[in-house]
Structure 1
Amino acid sequence: MKVTRIKKLMISGISVVTNNEFEMSEENGKIAGLWEEYFQKDIYKKTFDKANSDFMYGVYSNYESDVSGNYKVTVGVEVTKSKNAIVIEDKKYLVFTKQGELPMVVVELWEEIWEYFEKNSEYERAFEVDFEKYAKEDEVEIYVSIK
């Protein structure tokens, strides 16, 4: 885990609104279906102004409140123009990294993050824009916005 600052990052893709309660049940969860739709509809090829980056992103934004409220999830890639993109500018993040089999490693890491913030008061979540960065087939970095 490390602290970093993102100067500017723009992500474009497809989105859905959900919450953690929905995501805990297989029949109501929307995130897995969003990833499937992204690949089935070949959204990557339809995305304009892609940056020279091989990374995929899962972005959490538009938080209603905290871990119990609704939020928007976007699956996408980095782009060079802000039109129709989520723009992250000058934000401070706590970065968590984990290796393992996707998608279970992502679920496990989010559980570790929730536990970390429940037990640790050194950093406070900002609930602004958080994101998962998929750098390798078996590794995820999760960037959690902090105050």
Structure 2
Amino acid sequence: MDVKLKTVEPFTVAGLQVRTRNTDEQQPDTARIGPMWQRFFNEGLFDTIPARQSESFVYGVYSNYESDATGHFDVTAGVQVDATSAGHPAVDIEGGDYLMFAAKGPMPDCVIQTWGLIWAYFADNPQTLRRFTTDFEVYSSPDSVAIYIGIQSPDERSSASNWRLRSTPQR
């Protein structure tokens, strides 16, 4: 799998949105992401969301994390927009450092397998910390996805360490 460090500028995605958690997505009767994507494509939202940037790809955005990979989070299926509009929830992608995991293959299996590899990557690389603010998938073709995972920059890690040191009672 191809993994690269990328710096991303902020941008906005609008479309459909659901709130879920990973344990719910493992059960067909509680899964919400698949039905959201079906609705997105069945209703032709790629072409009808107002203010869509003409060069936009299809995006899947993970945001508003309750805690980490075990808590609730929002998922938005949408397009990059210049302005928000009523009826299409929008989410702002935070600028910053992201690890990009690129993959090709039949969807949705390719995305599901790549997320498994992403979780394994972070388990095997504990020095790299996720931000759990915004993560996103970019679908540039029917069989190609790039998944961007927000990571803490060295400055953010340093600030977090300093805060922990300041908040630790002195003996």
Q: TM-score range by the shorter chain?
A: over 0.9
Query: How many aligned positions are there?
Result: 147
| Equivalent residue, structure 1, for 2:25 | 23
- Give the drift of 1:54: 4.3
> What amino acid is aligned across from residue 79 of structure 1 in structure 2?
V
Q: Aligned letter for 1:40?
A: N
When the two chains are superposed, the root-mean-square deviation of aligned CA atoms in Å is 1.3
Query: Which blocks of at least 5 consecutive residues in structure 1 are unaligned?
Result: none
Q: Which one is further off, 98-107 or 5-14?
A: 5-14
Q: Which amino acid aligns with 1:71?
A: F
Tell me the residue number matched to 2:143.
Answer: 138
Equivalent residue in structure 1 for 2:124, among 119, 124, 134: 119
Compute the TM-score of the two structures, normalised by the length of structure 2. 0.81
What are the residue-to-residue correspondences of 1:15-94 with 2, within 5 Å? 15-82=17-84, 84-94=89-99
- Rounded to whole Å, the distance in 1 between the matches of 2:7 and 2:109 is 27
Kept in 1: contact 2:51–2:84 (CA 8 A): no
- Identity within the alignment, %: 35
Structure 2 counterpart of 1:10? 12
Structure 2 residue runs of 5 or longer lacking an equivalent are 153-171
CA distance in 2, matches of 1:41, 1:48: 14
Give the aligned residue type for 1:134: Y
In the alignment, which of 92, 109, 115 is matched to residue 110 of structure 1?
115
- The structural deviation recorded for 1:82 is 4.7
**Residues 125, 75 of structure 1: alpha-carbon distance in 2 compared, 3 angstrom cutoff:** same
Local SS of the residue matching 1:128: strand
Q: TM-score, length-normalised on structure 1?
A: 0.94
The 2-side partners of 1:70 and 1:123 are apart by: 22
Pick which of 112-121 and 48-57 moved more. 48-57
Q: 1:125 to 1:89 in 2, by over 3 A?
A: closer
Give 3-state SS (helix, strand or coil) of 1:126's partner.
strand
